[in-house]
Structure 1
Amino acid sequence: MDHDTVRLETPATPSAPALVLRPWRPEDADDLASASRDELLRRWVTSVADDRESAARWLREQRHGWETGTRYAFAVVERLGEAADGPLVGHTVLKRRLPDTSVAEVGYWTAAHARGRGVAPRALDTLTEWAFTVFAGDGLTRLELVHQADNTASCRVAEKCGYTFGSLLPAAPPAFPRDGHVHACVRGAERRARVG
Structure 2
Amino acid sequence: MITSVTLQVAATPTAPALVLRPWCVDDVTALVEASPDPGLRSEDDGLRWVRAQERGWAEGVRFGFAVLEQGPAPSPSPPWRVVGNVVLKEVAPGKAAAEVGYWTAARARGRGVAPRALEALTDWSWVAFRADGLERLDLLHQVDNLASCRVATKCGYAYDRTLAAAPAAFPLDGHLHVRRAPA
| TM-score between both structures, scaled by the size of structure 2 | 0.92
The whole-number CA distance in structure 2 between the counterparts of 1:113 and 1:79 is 13
Where do 5+ consecutive residues of structure 2 fail to align? none
Q: More deviation in 162-171 or 47-56?
A: 47-56
The whole-number CA distance in structure 1 between the counterparts of 2:106 and 2:99 is 23
- One-letter identity of the residue aligned with 1:3: T
CA change 1:139–1:2 in 2 (3 A) is closer
**How far apart, CA to CA, are the structure 2 residues paired with 1:141 and 1:119?**
25
Percent identity, aligned pairs only, is 52
Distance in 1 separating the partners of 2:58 and 2:30: 23
Question: Is structure 2 residue 138 aligned with structure 1 residue 144?
Answer: yes
Other structure's SS at 2:95 match: strand
Quick check: 1:73–1:91 contact (8 Å CA) kept in 2?
yes
Q: What is the SS of the residue equivalent to 2:172?
A: coil
In angstroms, what is the RMSD of aligned CA positions?
2.0
2:162 matched to 1:163? no
Task: Name the structure 2 match of 1:194.
Answer: none
Question: Residue in 1 aligned with 2:58?
Answer: 67
Alpha-carbon distance, 1:35 to partner: 1.5
Alignment-derived partner of residue 34 in structure 1: 33
- 2:89 maps to 1:90: no
Task: Give 1:68's aligned amino acid.
Answer: E
Which amino acid in 2 is paired with 1:135?
F
User: What is the deviation of 1:100?
Assistant: 5.0
Distance 1:136 1:98 in 2: 11
Deviations 1:158-184 (A, max 9, x none): 000000000101001111110000000
Asked if the contact 1:33–1:52 (Cα under 8 Å) also holds between the matched residues in 2, the reply is: yes
Q: Does the 8 Å CA contact 2:2/2:60 hold for their aligned counterparts?
A: no
Distance 2:90 2:51 in 1: 18
Q: Does 1:121 align with 2:115?
A: yes
CA–CA distance in structure 2, aligned partners of residues 10 and 125 of structure 1: 9
Q: Which amino acid in the other structure matches residue 10 of structure 1? A: V
Q: What TM-score results when the alignment is normalised by the length of structure 1?
A: 0.86
Cα pair distance change 1:84/1:63, threshold 3 Å: farther
Matched position secondary structure for 1:134: helix
Are the aligned partners of 1:69 and 1:96 in contact in 2 as well (CA < 8 Å)? no
**Residue-pair matches, total:** 180
